[in-house]
Amino acid sequence: MRKTLRRAVVSIALTIPLILGLGAGTAVAVPQTTLLQIPVVTGFQIAPGAVPGGLFQTIPMKATVGTEPGVLLLSTANIAPYADQYPYRSLGVNWRNWDIGFRGSAGLRHWQDNPNPGPPNDLPPLHSEQYPREVALPTGSGWVEITVTHYRDYHYGEPYADTLIPGKGLIYVP
């Protein structure tokens, strides 16, 4: 009798949480990070408006999936140290989900904040100074094509693309 009662209590104690959904976790993918297949190659960088790194610069892009379903995190693999011409540079991201047709775009910067900011002036901040270093793209699940373009900005004019080779990648987002 005691053995039967003990078995009944144990089976009820194990069954009730399952019926109520307690203790049943959701499957979560482990975040995976990869580099886009083709890095961004910038156009000619000539003084006085050049940034450190040579005439042509390569910017590898890092994609992370699995942090949450249907979202792709994108950033540069190497965040560049601040230089006085970097606030005039930015990256434009265009993406398209091949499976469900979602599309979108985002702005991104690939350099650190100014460690010694000067006094405020009357000029408004540049667009690229307001961009994040990492963007969360709501792509949905499926195969996502990503294109990254390097832009150069001026205070009085529209930014223009100075990309020699745009960054490209094809990533599966769970």
| Beta strand segments in the chain, E | 32-35, 40-42, 58-59, 61-65, 72-76, 89-97, 103-108, 134-137, 142-154, 157-161, 163-165, 167-173
CA distance 174 to 166: 25
CA distance 60 to 116: 27
**pTM above 0.85?**
no
Q: Tell me the pLDDT of the chain (174 aa) as tens digits.
A: 666 666 655 456 445 544 544 444 444 558 999 999 999 999 887 766 777 777 888 999 999 999 999 999 999 999 999 888 888 899 999 999 999 999 999 999 999 988 887 777 777 777 788 899 999 999 999 999 999 999 988 767 788 898 999 999 999 999
Q: Residue 165 burial by CB count (10 A; 0-12/13-18/19+): exposed, middle or buried?
A: middle
